[in-house]
Amino acid sequence: MPPWSLVSPASRGIGFALARRVLQTTNASLVATARRDLDRTKEELLKGLGVDEKRLTILKLDVLDESTIADAASACKEKFPPNSHTLQLAFIVPGLLFPEKSPTQIDADDALLTFRTNTIGPMLMLKHFSPFLPKKSSVKRHESTDMKGLPEISMAAVMSARVGSISDNRLGGWYSYRASKAGVNQLVKTFDNHLGTASGDRAAAVALHPGTVKTGLSKEFWGSVKKEKLFERDWVAEKLLDVVKSVRIDGRGKCWDWDGKEVPP
């Protein structure tokens, strides 16, 4: 069953770098998503890579609009039928941050948008794309060249953050973002429990902490981060892909940082 990969969203930031990394280091077909400018996104993702552009499919998807998620999943079902293909690697990486420093700064609309983007969006992605992950009964027919650069088991990786750790919360602040990422960790654990039943050791889910990366999400805070702790997105993409490939069954359902260390719940 030929493998394929998914990165959503992939038009900028870490998702953009992850999509390019998957294209560079694997032979698998890749579905990348964007809310708009699909042709420009495809052009930018392929620029300078020298890979077969037929491997890359760009689909419109907005995590705030479930109908676009369902439409993207339907398009994938036609292109990669689950009875003959396997979703081997999925990066689900939407992100939004309103950095409240005190409870008086919490805005209900901003907080709701944060949860819809960071937590509910990935939840709906898992709802619609989980059927593409292998079942216990799925036939395993991967050729060695097809699996180049991919994890040995199908992996669904959702972007979390260290600030989503409850036990590691020593500073407070960032109320909506912290809570939304704690929700991601619970979502991933719950989904992985489902995979344990449905897929056995054929598929697993993990959460990821990328560190502070030079993207639009964190730009406001670059000046307060030590130089050695402020990462380039291409470097982080390489590290995160390595982490996902290295996770074994006993590491499923957990949150892992860019360095392969577990982030406590």
Q: Which two tokens stand for residue 153?
A: 């088991």
The C-alpha atoms of residue 86 and residue 104 are separated, in whole angstroms, by 47
- Residues 15 and 21 sit within 8 Å (Cβ to Cβ): no
d(CA 85, CA 227): 43
> For residue 114, what are its two tokens?
């944060």
Residues 62-120 have pLDDT tens digits of 999 999 999 999 999 999 999 999 999 999 999 999 999 999 999 999 999 999 999 99
> For residues 184-198, b (16+ Cβ closer than 10 Å) or e, as one string?
bbebbbebbeebbeb
3-263 placed in CATH 3.40.50.1010: no
The pTM assigned to this predicted structure is 0.94
How do residues 122-172 score in pLDDT, each as one tens digit?
A: 999 999 999 999 999 877 666 667 899 999 999 999 999 999 999 999 999
- Domain ranges for the chain: 3-263
> Is-contact 257 164, C-beta < 8 A?
no
SS3 252: coil
In the chain, the largest separation of any two C-alpha atoms, in whole Å, equals 57
